[in-house]
Amino acid sequence: MTLDLTVDELLTTTRSVRKRLDFEKPVSREVLMECLDLALQAPTGSNAQGWQWVFVEDPAKKKALADIYRTNANPYLDLPKPERGDIRDEQIDAVTSSAKYLNENFEKAPVLLVPCLEGRPDGAPAGMSASYWGSLLPAVWSFMLALRSRGLGSAWTTLHLLGDGEKQAAEVLGIPFDQYAQAGLFPIAYTKGTDFKKAKRLPAEQFAHWDTW
């Protein structure tokens, strides 16, 4: 069953969901595969389709991944936040509180996801790195949109990748570290309510450039 959302509503209300993840409601493999089928229609460089998607339901493995994440998240989330002098300063406390909540409860999500891509971009020049990640990240975002359309939510997190975290996660999940890079760690759950709103963003004019910077 999908939500009655227009394309614009779907694109403007797909949030990074943390405090509104429903940790008690099971998530079926069927709905995850529906979302993955949609995500795999995303563009991928040279039609390589070098992606692999590791869904984690096992409680012990979820806990291990959450602990790896917390090793990096705990010091990061306690760092002082920069002041930017605009609307982002008004949002920082809520964002930090939300991130800390997820950090404390990560393994409670019914499913965790680690998307992977064949090869490793370590030390690659900008062009190669952009091409590499451009073959996976559109599909990951399509997956998140598909989740939203079905009443589920997630949050794109990358803190577990810092330091030795990616290699440790690879060992937990049996991912061949030398052959595949991880794009993040995503908690997946149904959301408590589906009435998400547009985020407060800076105006598009502030970011647009025409013909020159």
What's the pLDDT at 89? 86
- What whole-number percentage of the chain has pLDDT above 70? 100
pLDDT tier at 117 (50, 70, 90 boundaries)? Answer: very high
State pLDDT tens for residues 68-116.
Answer: 999 999 999 999 988 998 999 889 999 999 999 999 999 999 999 999 9
Question: Identity (one letter) of the amino acid at 149?
Answer: S
What's the pLDDT at 121? 93
What's the pLDDT at 170? 98
What's the pLDDT at 64? 98
State pLDDT tens for residues 132-143.
Answer: 999 999 999 999
In the chain, the domains with their CATH numbers are 7-79+92-190 (3.40.109.10)
Least confident range from 35-44, 89-98, 143-152: namely 89-98
Question: Identity (one letter) of the amino acid at 209?
Answer: H
State pLDDT tens for residues 76-85.
Answer: 999 998 899 8
Does the pLDDT of residue 179 top 90, yes or no?
yes
